[in-house]
Structure 1
Amino acid sequence: MSVLHEYAADLTQATLPLNGGPAGPMTRFDEVIGPEGTLRPAWKGLASAAVTLTQTEVARLVREIASTLADDGVTYAHRGGPRPWRLDPLPLVFDAASWSRIEVGLAQRAELLNAIMTDLYGDQRLLSEGVIPAPAVFAHPGFVRAIARPSVADPHPLLLTGTDLGRDADGEWRVLADRVQAPSGLGYAMENRLVISRLLPDLYHEADLHRIDPYFVVLRDALLQCAPSDDPDPRVVVLSPGTHSETAYDQAFIATTLGFPLVQGDDLVVHDGSVWIKPPRWPHAKPVDRVDVILRRVDAEWCDPLELRGNSQLGVAGLVEAVRRGTVHVVNGIGAGVLENPALLPFLPAACERLLGEQLRLPATPAWWCGDRDGLERVLSQLRRDPEAIIVRTLDGVSAGDDLTPDELAVRIRAHPYRYVGLARLPLSQAPVWRSGGVAEARPLVLRAFSVRYGSAYRTLAGGMATARDDDGVPHTKDVWVLKSDPSEPDQGLPGPSPLAMVPSIPALAPRALADMFWAGRYAERAEDLLRLVVSTQGLLERDGRRAASAAWALQGILQRLSGTRWMSSADELRSLLVDADRAGSAAHALAGMRGALEGVRDQLSGDTWRVFSIADRAMEAARDSTHPPQIAESAERMLSGILSLYGVTSNMIRDTGWHMIEAGRYLERALQLCILLEATTSTDAAGAADRQVLDGVLLAAESLVTHRRRYRGYGRTRSIFDLLLKDLDNPRSLAFALEQVKVHLEAMPDSTGSTRPERLRDALGEALEAVDVAGLSAETDGRRPALAEFLAESAKSLRRLADAIAELHFEGGPPAVQMSSLALVEEMGRA
């Protein structure tokens, strides 16, 4: 039996109850199965492909979707940490007629919200005429007084809107909430579509649905057109709170897809009333890349520490003044968060008639503002009669009664009634969510839809993202399919984007982004070198004999120098070096550092980059689950193959400053790791046999064993090994080759002149290496090679000094931000 037949059969039995009441058949509107137990009209056209899906096939799809999302690095931060993104195999499907009613209502709502925001920050007619009560607006934390003046009011502050929808008891869609502060989810919606179309090709191609791609083209065009200047090449950036944001992936996806730089607050600076990408060595260097449009994903109160929230580290000091001057356009406008105020919901029908002269087409869930006498009595009465049928929220949308009894909540509301809003609890519709075993569970869902202002009108995305939540609150998402009324209908019903002048542009990278790329290269090389050392050590441990054990002990000494000593068995020690992310110097720690650095520049990278971490995560999981020593080497080799694939990805990057920084970091770290690795050869033994084992291990860890065998013969080869690893410019693993590459990449940086301190330090290192006598380094005295030990120590110290100099020249973006309380600011002004 197919999964849809089983699901339909289950719906004739007990399903999810309405409003916490007793369970019964078909207690919710089901998005797939109608009351008669047959497919809904939108699904009937897909029946030939959908009905044949079996439980085994769906279980396979669930696994493949999870694997694909992991390979793409799709995450969502929930309750303090990133979690894997969850996507259900079967979409939420609308036919053209059903979607048309939603589409018209969403376009009107976006136009209404834009008009309300323009009025609230301009003439404030709605407030003066009593259409919207002033306390409901001024008490909301999203109302930004700093821009509330008619002289600077933006006529089009809303470019992109998000709207959460749910069905009421009659199956009609109602607005649950407006998401206009910094609408999220459009990137996730596109990712969902990409995955489903790839893994369900038969169902996807059988459906004559609207593709999403044209919507992103129009969004990009709309952002470029709202630039305040006439520059033929306007600069647009996506302002992100950073990699710890719960929707960091969504922000990076949008930036990458639109082709705009992903920046953080510290990457920008306001100078002469305009916003610029901060240059290295600011404020001593003059900025050259002006920003015209900011698509912000930072909430308004954090956008400017000068005029808004003073302790913000996420915004740009002076941004509000730049907005007032009209030198930069912020999307959505600063202050849009006031429109997310649930207290506005009861007054939107009247506002729509006042501003647009129309009836509101898409109603919201019934809501009552407690600052109004009738609204207060309605909410208090509902709390006494049926508290489960109402949700009480504060003006900022936070649930107010989760930890209170109805009586306690009523007391709190009476104390400050204007702070609270009551909303009817909708039953919501349900749809099947499939588990890993291919078993469906009906869950209530919410639809998030999007609209963008393009030209003179708002266009609604034919699609979106549906979300059903587990009992633990973790979202399961569904792709949203809107079927065409006619196969010839253009995707999204959108006209082609307006032509723009083709102006070649090389986006500048802020110092923070350059630092992230530099450290990504260093962490990648650090992980690779440690993994090679683990493989070499494990190989020696698997051999019999005292000499192999002695050589393994020497290499373990290097590993412990890199990551500290844990006093465990050799197998546990090596396993810890693979999987313990809290252990500084371990492969897991290096990979975590690389992931963190690359997350900050995700817009610069190919999607293939994230498969590196997916491969490594699976290998580490295998190492954790197995106590078998050979599994250590196998997991290390799998992790190593993932790291090596990263070099294939970066080799296809454009040769801009970011790529040069990745390569500079990579080769600087290779040189440093080689110096540490060669320390294993500074001690010798009298017989020389164990010394040969150590040298072989070092060659293997440096990926030069085969090269050495091909180029040199015989066992009296200590000098040849040092020559190959230190001075051979044809060996990519040698110190000389690494230093030469560092030189090449530093010279390519805009701030390099040939005589900067990093270049001078690198030249000094090269000269010292060129002057060294390999025979002298190979000389032994009392079981040691003192000249080699001294040379390696000095080289490592110089390399660390070089890394600091690179950071000082290329990554410093001025002094760090300093928080000043209002009292401290007054005292500082008094002293002045």
Structure 2
Amino acid sequence: MASRAATSLFDAATIADRWIADYCAHVPAGDVLCAGTRDPAWSALFEELAAVSGEGLEPVRERAQRHAEDIGTGFRIVDEGEERPWPLSPVPLLIEHTEWDGIAAGVAQRAELLETILQDLYGESRLVADGHVPAALVTGSPYFLRPLARLTPPGDHHLQFVAVDLCRGPSGEWRVLADHLRAPAGAGYALENRLAIARTLGELQSRLNIERHAPFFAAFREGVAAACRRAEPRIALLTPGRLNPSYAEQAHLARYLGFLLVEGADLAVLDDQLYVRTIAGMKRVDALWHRLDPRLLDPLALDSHSTIGIPGVIDAVAAGNVVIANAPGAGLLEAPAFAAFLPRLAQVLTGEALKLPNIATWWCGQDAERDHVAAHLDSLLIAPAFGIAPLGLPGGKPVLGTALDAEARAALLDDLARRPQDYVGQEIVRLSTMPVVADDVLAPRPFTLRVFAARGRDGRWTVLPGGFARIGEHPDARAAVMGDGIWSADVCIHGSEPVAPVSLLPADDTTQLRRNPGTLPSRVADNLFWLGRYLERGEALLGLIRVLLGHSIGADTGAALPLDTVGRLTRLIVASGAAPEAKGVKRADLTQLARTALEGEDGWYSVRAINRQARLIGEVSRERLSADMIRLLDAPFPQRGVLLDKAGSLQRRYSALNGLASEHMTRTEAWRFHDIGRRIERALGAIRCIRAFGGRDATADDLSTLLDLMDSQISYRQRYLTGMARVPVLDLVTLDPNNPRALAFQVAAISAHLNKLPVLSDDGLAEPQQERAREIAAILVTANATRIDDALLGDLEARLASLSAAVARRYFLHGAEPLRAAGLVLA
């Protein structure tokens, strides 16, 4: 890749001019780069691209994509299990600040208009009574939530955060395609795009005086806090979970804003107050920024089938004790049918026309509008009026009238006559294009722009300077053909005045120092505990496989170790559920056993399967884990090399994960649960290995294998020079408190962690999990290696299992039963 040093500014300018000239020679009218008098900022942008990339554009595209992946940006298509990398174009959309001021004013006006309409429709409904809004448009909408009627949200606002999709026509005018009010998504992607482009084109920010995102997010956070009753409220971001298409974005936003990332099961309502279940008891939550379908928020007040909501949360809202952004029911105005009435409502309610006009829309629930749509079907886009697929549009997606075949056209017209209120007709919009990198050259593609507005502390609307652009795959510039787009781009608002380097963090001299890491929800502690257990379990199984492959299989006729030792190894692997019993002890039989245990599918609890479980936990713990740890958890399973090569690759990955946890995780309660999980799993694995290879009939090969599995071979040989002896081996791997792989070491570490974790009472007495850990530690402290037998080891294994269950009962709350537990902490 060419460096900035290798490409002078003169050369970069020459390359940039050539790129722009070649591009503008082949673009359609209305392209943002080539239309009219070209903004000199575009030349500066392409000079920066050339300084990074040299003669070709592909290197800078790869660099931007790599930075996006390093940040952890990703998304998921509905019904797909795997998350996809976020597709980022290295060419941002540039908008001059005077043009942007008009867009921002239009978005703020629109947000306030929508708030005014919602207050009326969920209040006195004068707009319906006076005939400005048809009653069927409200009561017939699936997004009108009757339980919220006449309910004034805390802070007196229905909307705290709004997203608006805009399009730019070929002549440069901006218009509104859609409003997003229920659970507006995308602000996190705008933030992540900016971070990736800033890392790719480091000089662009200062060279073009690009406006920053941090003030917008600070205003939003302050606006939500101002609507709460407490001076220092606890705010949470409510997510549907890791399978939500934008879960990665939600995790990033929660971390950036300092919000708790919670799911419905983390929350509970008690006496009209909302609480989050934490390891220290129930902690009050004052505000929720939600990403759920609002109909699923409360199974008691809304959809009784919801399993991801919070029973009773609407009662907490009605009591004024919790702010929900946006208020349930706000999605009523998202319906495309409402766009037909907004221009008139703007005049009625504000006396002004919309500064950003809608695309022309006809709601077919009115006779004249229905007849117009039917008569002009070939020149319109036909869409569901309320976002739900009617019979005439089976896929639920808007369609061009000209794209319908005879059968589909007849079905649509038939259903339009039967249920006209289910349809809208919209004008077919042509979009401006912008440059993207395709096959190492610049190519024009249509785009739309998503813009975000948030209510600040003073109640006024603040508009994010930029947003993110969605870019279509094909040159066809019709919005209906472009769909959701396949690329995204940063949107940079630039001007002539320098921009202060604003950060979301307060100034150093005003920051109140704190070493308390904050609230740890019980679900998060549960996840980290099991992440530790799965990683340790996978590493232990990998150890068995490596010993079997590396030290036991000697020749085609059999094994280098005695058959009894090999049998013990294979029985441990089989007992773990990783593979079926081997057919024999020949090399091929043992290799097949090892292969299944390492990478088997088909229901085997192999290393691959364990890694998959760890990866799933990593996906729901993004806000708690480093990007490096997430990257290692997401890494694909090794495909190249023989089994020992794959096992070695996985061993290095496990070592890296262990190192990140040991050396990079702050010693918080979250880390303690992760380490407790590791220690419990390691202790259980140690007992199984000791029982298998440390019995009274153990041979030297058995004991050597035990030391290999316990990673204690070097320690033993440094300490004892006389060869293998059972009692010294057992003492080292069972009772030695200074051996980090010994059973006693694990129990001592677990006990120390449990003593540091919060308790629910002030009486100073040990809780059940602490008692169990102390009992196990006492047994090991008073034990003698000469008296270690299978009965003692079996008892220790049962006690460790009981300890694990006690930790789960105390900290990993399930259901509603713990809400009224004695000694419960409410704060």
TM-score normalised by the chain length of structure 2: 0.85
Of 441, 448, 451, the residue aligned with 2:450 is 448
Contact 2:167 2:447 (8 Å CA) reproduced:
yes
Equivalent position of 2:805 in the other structure: 804
What does 1:397-412 align with in structure 2 at a 5 Å threshold?
401=393, 405-412=408-415
CA displacement 1:158-202 (0-9 Å, x = unmatched)? 111111112235342211111111111111211121122112324
Distance (Å, rounded) in 2 between the aligned partners of 1:755 and 1:559: 37
**Which residue of 2 is the match for residue 394 of structure 1?**
385
The one-character-per-residue Cα deviations of 1:460-487 (angstroms, maximum 9, x if unpaired) are 1111111225589673211111113312
Q: What amino acid is aligned across from residue 675 of structure 1 in structure 2?
A: I
Deviation for aligned residue 1:721:
2.0
Q: Does 1:525 align with 2:536?
A: yes
Q: Which residue number corresponds to residue 632 of structure 2?
A: 612
Distance 1:420 1:53 in 2: 50
Q: Deviations over 1:277-319 (max 9, x none)?
A: 2367xxxx9x652221111111210010001000111111111
- 1:419 aligned partner: 422
Question: 1:611-633: per-residue Cα shift (whole Å, max 9, x none)?
Answer: 3224x42xx2xx22x24344223
Aligned twin of 1:213: 214
Residue 569 (structure 1) shift: 5.5
Aligned partner of 1:133 in structure 2 is 134
- Counterpart check, 1:737 vs 2:738: no
Q: Which moved more, 1:756-765 or 1:542-551?
A: 542-551
Query: 1:426-825, aligned counterparts within 5 Å?
Result: 426-434=429-437, 438-454=440-456, 455-470=458-473, 475-488=486-499, 507-540=518-551, 546-548=559-561, 554-566=568-580, 570-571=590-591, 573-580=593-600, 583=603, 585-614=605-634, 616-617=635-636, 620=637, 623-624=638-639, 626-648=640-662, 651-653=665-667, 655-656=668-669, 658-682=670-694, 688=699, 691-692=700-701, 694-751=702-759, 754-777=765-788, 787-788=789-790, 790-815=791-816
Rounded to whole Å, the distance in 2 between the matches of 1:106 and 1:117 is: 17
User: Distance between the aligned counterparts of 1:811 and 1:57, measured in 2?
Assistant: 54
Cα pair 1:537 1:697 within 8 Å, conserved: no
| 3-state SS in 2 of match to 1:636 | helix
Helix, strand or coil at the partner of 1:764: helix
Which deviations, in whole Å up to 9, do the C-alpha atoms of 1:222-245 show, x marking residues without a partner? 221121x1x332121111112221
Ranges in structure 2 where 5+ consecutive residues have no aligned partner:
1-13, 396-403, 475-482, 583-587, 819-827
CA distance in 1, matches of 2:629, 2:471: 29
Give the AA of the match of 1:298: L
1:30-45 residue pairs with structure 2 within 5 A?
A: 30-31=31-32, 33-35=33-35, 40-45=39-44
Going from structure 1 to structure 2, the CA distance change for 1:554 and 1:72 (only over 3 Å counts) comes to farther
Change (3 A) 1:355 1:642: farther
The verdict on how the C-alpha distance between 1:530 and 1:401 changes in structure 2, with shifts beyond 3 A counting, is same
Question: How has the CA–CA distance of structure 1 residues 27 and 226 changed in structure 2, closer, same or farther, with 3 Å as cutoff?
Answer: same
1:273-288 mapped onto 2 (5 Å cutoff): 273-278=272-277, 288=282
Deviations 1:332-374 (A, max 9, x none): 1111111211111111111112222221000122111001222
Please provide the CA RMSD for this pair.
3.4
How far apart in 2 are the matches of 1:167 and 1:749? 56
Pick aligned residue for 2:22 from 3, 9, 15? 9
Q: Displacement, 1:29? A: 3.4
Give the distance between the partners of 2:137 and 2:341, measured in 1 at CA.
Answer: 10
Amino acid at match of 2:31: D
Indicate the SS of the match to 1:201. coil
Deviations 1:760-789 (A, max 9, x none): 332332333344442344xxxxxxxxx34x
Cα deviations across residues 687-730 of structure 1 (Å, max 9, x unaligned)?
Answer: x4xx43x5434333323222222222231333222211111111
Q: CA–CA distance in 2 between the matches of 1:492 and 1:120?
A: 39
**2:322 maps to 1:310:** no
Separation of aligned partners in 1, 2:520 and 2:166: 39
Q: Distance in 2 between matches of 1:97 and 1:411?
A: 49
Aligned length: 770
Q: Does the CA-based 8 Å contact 2:316-2:322 persist in structure 1?
A: yes
Equivalent residue, structure 2, for 1:360? 354
Letter in 2 for 1:247: S
Contact 1:524 1:666 in 2 (8 A): yes
Equivalent position SS for 2:340: helix
One-letter amino acid of the structure 2 residue matched with residue 592 of structure 1: R
8 A Cα contact 2:161 2:455, kept in partner: yes
CA distance in 1, matches of 2:506, 2:786: 74
**Mean Cα displacement is larger for which, 600-609 or 365-374?**
600-609
Instruction: Show CA shifts across 1:246-270 (max 9, x none).
Output: 1111111111111121111121111
Distance 1:803-1:536 versus aligned 2 partners, 3 A rule: same
Equivalent residue for 2:244? 245
Q: Give the Cα separation in 2 of the matches to 1:495 and 1:112.
A: 33
Matched residues, percent identical?
Answer: 30
* Cα 1:335/1:585, change in 2 over 3 Å: same
Q: Distance in 2 between matches of 1:495 and 1:369?
A: 48
Preserved contact between residue 563 and residue 585 of structure 1 (Cα < 8 Å):
yes
Distance 1:46 1:440, change over 3 A: closer
Letter in 1 for 2:374: L
Aligned to 1:163: 164
- 1:639 counterpart letter in structure 2: R
SS in 1 for 2:157: coil
Deviation, 1:397, is: 5.9
- Which amino acid in 1 is paired with 2:468? M
Per-residue CA deviation, residues 378-425 of structure 1 (Å, 9 max, x unaligned), is 221222x34xx4132231265863657122111111111112112223
SS for the counterpart of 1:238 is strand
- Residue type of the alignment partner of 1:177: A
Contact 1:527/1:590, CA 8 A, preserved across alignment: yes
